[in-house]
Amino acid sequence: MSKRGAALELAVLGLLHDAPMHGYELRKQLNSLLGWGRVLSYGTLYPCLKALGKAGYIVATEQKDVPARGRRARIVYKLTAEGKERFTQSLEESGPASWDDDNFGIRFAFFARTASPTRVRILEGRRSRLEDRLESVRLSAQRGRERVDAYTLELQRHGLESVEREVGWLTELIERERSGGYQDPPEDTSKPDTSKPDSSK
Amino acid sequence: MSKRGAALELAVLGLLHDAPMHGYELRKQLNSLLGWGRVLSYGTLYPCLKALGKAGYIVATEQKDVPARGRRARIVYKLTAEGKERFTQSLEESGPASWDDDNFGIRFAFFARTASPTRVRILEGRRSRLEDRLESVRLSAQRGRERVDAYTLELQRHGLESVEREVGWLTELIERERSGGYQDPPEDTSKPDTSKPDSSK
DNA sequence: GTTAGCATGTAAGGAGTTACATGATTTT
DNA sequence: AAAATCATGTAACTCCTTACATGCTAAC
């Protein structure tokens, strides 16, 4: 759970930070958060929840008193104080791990709760990671060792273009970040229920 | 090796079909073929080569007679007749597996050796897979259950845009394919069709 | 009345990574 | 002389998926 698993852990912690939830619901949210084709299985989620429970970051409370007429007792997971601590600490981190392929997406998804300097560091880290990638691919294309038919070329061209766009996107975000943009309210940790004070920039 | 592993198997077979190679070289080629951040480890490659050998698709020949003055004896892998058979058969396949996330890239990389109707089927399959994805994300965004802050929204918007571009790319490729494109370059720039030849089914 | 969705889990296994182990050769 | 690259492998481990096991409720 030290490298990849951190992504799932953070995502679960973050979603439960928003609101307590049961496994089934959590999975749906996770699927749209982790996005794009990836579908998380229960075989991953439930053991992860168990581990987080054992670590003391979450507690499971069974809804047996209010079974809502016939409905199966659902197990609702809730963040502990340690869990909240862990989550906020994780959000402060801005080392290389925070901008690798596996973590960047989740880190970005929680940007609203991340401090602005941290956001910039992560965005820049991600950008230079992608730029390194572009560089090495361009070099190896120039050295021209490999198979070159029209399709291989097209695949390479398309890949290059996609990554270039990604870099452009990141650059825009960084600039917006630097000019105050995206303005978020300075983190709300007290209120358990948010009544949508402000959603548009 | 039945589902995901098929991708690596196909890639190895395809590269060895081009030319016999030793493991180290193979890995480098594989890395640029599988592309983008993915770096294949020896811990995956060598066991795979062993399995392919056991299956009779490749043979390993040690270069002991010509150690090229001091150079460590390299083990060169070569396709057998069965391996060639297997490779060409694999290239004919155009079922759902050929356009999933894990295989599409490799299938595309070997398009130059794939029959044109097969190419079209794979491209169309891939496109409709992505379109399904777009659809479901758009729906869930409309139903609007999830967390909505500026960053989550931006992430979603960007993801949507990327997939849309991908779909556009595929559409272009399909059209080019239908008008003879790529292999034997008729270099047809006239483009007489302003009317849609109907791409959706 | 049967399909689809809700709900919680476990067991087995696959694919791949990291770290280890070893050593020669070329470049800086 | 050191560092990078060439070269081949193995063992342990991790993350995740698939398939299984169970059963209820709502819609069609």
In angstroms, the CA A39 to CA A41 distance is 6
Kindly indicate the confidence band of residue A194, based on its pLDDT and cuts at 50, 70 and 90. very low
Whether residue A193 lies inside any domain: the answer is no
Encoding tokens for residue A143?
């050295």
Whether residue A36 lies inside any domain: the answer is yes
Give A19 CA → D20 C1' in Å.
Answer: 31
- For A112, the closest of B133, B140, B149 (CB atoms) is B149
Give B70 CA → D2 C1' in Å.
Answer: 21
Considering the entire predicted model, what is its pTM?
Answer: 0.86
Whether residue B77 lies inside any domain: the answer is yes
| Other Cβ atoms within 10 Å of A143 Cβ, number | 8
pLDDT the model gives residue A147? 75
In terms of domains, do B21 and B86 share one?
A: yes
In terms of domains, do A49 and A123 share one?
A: no
- Percent of chain B residues topping a pLDDT of 90: 66
Whether residue A57 lies inside any domain: the answer is yes
Cβ A40 vs Cβ A31: under 8 Å: yes
HSE at residue A34, side-chain half, CA atoms within 13 A, is: 22
Cβ A100 vs Cβ A129: under 8 Å: yes
A-B interface: how many C-beta pairs under 8 angstroms?
A: 74
CA distances from A151 to B98, B182, B187 (A): 16, 8, 15
Q: What is the mean pLDDT of chain B?
A: 85
pLDDT the model gives residue A98? 94
- Percent of chain A residues topping a pLDDT of 70: 82
Cβ B55 vs Cβ B2: under 8 Å: no
**What are B58-116's pLDDT values in tens digits?**
999 987 655 554 466 799 999 999 999 999 999 999 999 999 999 999 999 999 999 99
Q: What is the mean pLDDT of chain A?
A: 85
Whether residue B186 lies inside any domain: the answer is no
Q: Per-residue pLDDT averaged across A191-198, rounded?
A: 47
Whether residue A143 lies inside any domain: the answer is yes
Beta partners for residue B79, in sequence order = B58
Q: Is the CB of A2 under 7 A from strand D?
A: yes
In angstroms, the CA A47 to CA A136 distance is 39
In terms of domains, do B61 and B138 share one?
A: no
CA distances from A91 to A13, A39, A84, A87, A122 (A): 11, 24, 11, 6, 11
In angstroms, the CA A177 to CA A169 distance is 12
In angstroms, the CA A83 to CA A89 distance is 10
In terms of domains, do B78 and B131 share one?
A: no
In terms of domains, do B71 and B126 share one?
A: no
pLDDT the model gives residue A71? 61
**What are B115-157's pLDDT values in tens digits?**
999 999 999 999 999 999 898 888 887 776 677 899 999 999 9
Going by C-alpha positions, the residue among A3, A158, A129 that lies closest to residue B108 is A158
In terms of domains, do A170 and A134 share one?
A: yes
The CATH number assigned to the domain holding A33 equals 1.10.10.10
User: What angle (nearest 5°) sits at the alpha carbon of residue A11, between those of residues B41 and A101?
Assistant: 30
Q: Is the CB of A71 under 7 A from strand D?
A: yes
| Other Cβ atoms within 10 Å of A56 Cβ, number | 12
In angstroms, the CA A135 to CA A131 distance is 6
Of chain B residues 64-123, which have a beta carbon within 7 Å of strand C? 69-72
Of chain A residues 105-144, which have a beta carbon within 7 Å of strand D? none
- For B150, the closest of A147, A162, A182 (CB atoms) is A182
* Contact residues of B toward A, CB < 8 A: 18, 29, 32, 35-37, 101, 105, 108-112, 133, 137, 140, 146-152, 154-156, 158-159, 162-163, 165, 169, 173, 182-183, 185
For residue A163, list chain B residues with Cβ-Cβ distance below 8 A.
Answer: 36
pLDDT the model gives residue B64? 60
Residue A51 belongs to what domain range?
Answer: 5-92
**What are A76-126's pLDDT values in tens digits?**
999 999 999 999 999 999 999 999 999 999 999 999 999 999 999 999 999
Domain total of chain A? 2
pLDDT the model gives residue B14? 96
How many angstroms separate the CA of residue B47 from the nearest CA in chain A? 24
In terms of domains, do B54 and B125 share one?
A: no
Buried b (16+ CB within 10 A) or exposed e, B8-27: bbbbbbbbbbeebbbbebbb
Kindly indicate the confidence band of residue A145, based on its pLDDT and cuts at 50, 70 and 90. low
| Kind plus residue range of the DSSP H or E element containing A22 | strand A21-22
Whether residue B200 lies inside any domain: the answer is no
Q: Tell me which of B189 and A3 has the higher pLDDT.
A: A3
pLDDT the model gives residue B187? 47
Which residue shows structure tokens 């409370």? A61
In terms of domains, do B30 and B87 share one?
A: yes
In terms of domains, do B59 and B120 share one?
A: no
**What are A32-71's pLDDT values in tens digits?**
888 777 889 999 999 999 999 999 999 999 876 555 555 6
pLDDT the model gives residue A160? 94
Q: Tell me which of B146 and B189 has the higher pLDDT.
A: B146
Beta partners for residue B21, in sequence order = B77
pLDDT the model gives residue B80? 97
Of chain A residues 22-61, which have a beta carbon within 7 Å of strand D? 38-44, 48
Distance of CA B123 to the CA centre of its chain: 11
Whether residue A107 lies inside any domain: the answer is no
| CA-based nearest residue in chain B for residue A14 | B147
Q: Is the CB of A53 under 7 A from strand C?
A: no
pLDDT the model gives residue B71? 60
Q: Tell me which of B175 and B38 has the higher pLDDT.
A: B175
In terms of domains, do B172 and B130 share one?
A: yes
